[in-house]
Amino acid sequence: MSQTQTSTDTPVTNGPRYFDLHTTGVGYLSRVREVKVKKGDPFVCVDVSALRGTSDEVEYTRFDCRVSGEEAISLINRLKADIEAKKKVLVGFKVGDLYAETFVYEKGDKAGQTGISLKAHLLRLTFAKVDGVMVYQPPREAAAVQNAA
């Protein structure tokens, strides 16, 4: 990788630059699964039903997420039994690399119709509650809550 110097003598990389698109929110987890591929390592996926709108008329937007990062994978695996038991697993989340993918419904009332799936990488959980009970807060957030009390 080549580098140049700025007027403050800080190295600047001339390689590819990336633009991040991150979305944060609160939502419910469902459909956790391990996806096995022919080439490469298996990976963990989960659906996030993000809440939006007013609290008295909540609407949902579903993200089909590939879980990225060791911490996020570990947390999803910890919550897997609760998700599979159909408990209400509410999380704060951060997703990235959001894109839409079309598909054709194969069953039900919409069979043969085209649908859209929002795909993303689940990058981070900022908290997790199972049936209303806090089960995870990152150390920084937990310390901030304790200091504020």
Residue recorded with tokens 């579903």: 62
Look up residue 44 and give its two tokens.
Answer: 């963990």
Predicted confidence (pLDDT) at residue 2 exceeds the cutoff of 50: no
Percent of the chain at pLDDT above 70? Answer: 85
The average pLDDT across 64-72 equals 93
Q: What is the pLDDT of residue 14?
A: 77
With CA atoms as reference, report the closest residue to 71 among 143, 141, 137.
137
* Candidate ranges 1-5, 14-18, 77-81; pick with highest mean pLDDT: 77-81
Predicted TM-score (pTM) of this structure: 0.79
Look up residue 83 and give its two tokens.
Answer: 């998700």
| Each residue's pLDDT tens digit, 76-121 | 999 999 999 999 999 999 999 999 999 999 999 999 999 999 999 9
Domain 22-134 has CATH 2.40.50.140: yes
Across the chain, what does the average pLDDT equal? Answer: 87
Q: How confident is the model at residue 18 (pLDDT cuts 50, 70, 90)?
A: confident
Look up residue 17 and give its two tokens.
Answer: 């630059």
* d(C-alpha 119, C-alpha 47), whole Å: 9
Q: What is the pLDDT of residue 5?
A: 45
Domain parsing of the chain, residue ranges: 22-134
DSSP assignments along the chain, one per residue: --EEE-TT--EEE-S------EEEEEEEEEEEEEEP-SSS--EEEEEEEEEES-TTS-EEEEEEEEE-SHHHHHHHHHHHHHHHTT--EEEEEEEEEEEEEEEE--SSTTTT-EEEEEEEEEEEEEEEEETTEEEE--HHHHHHHHHH-
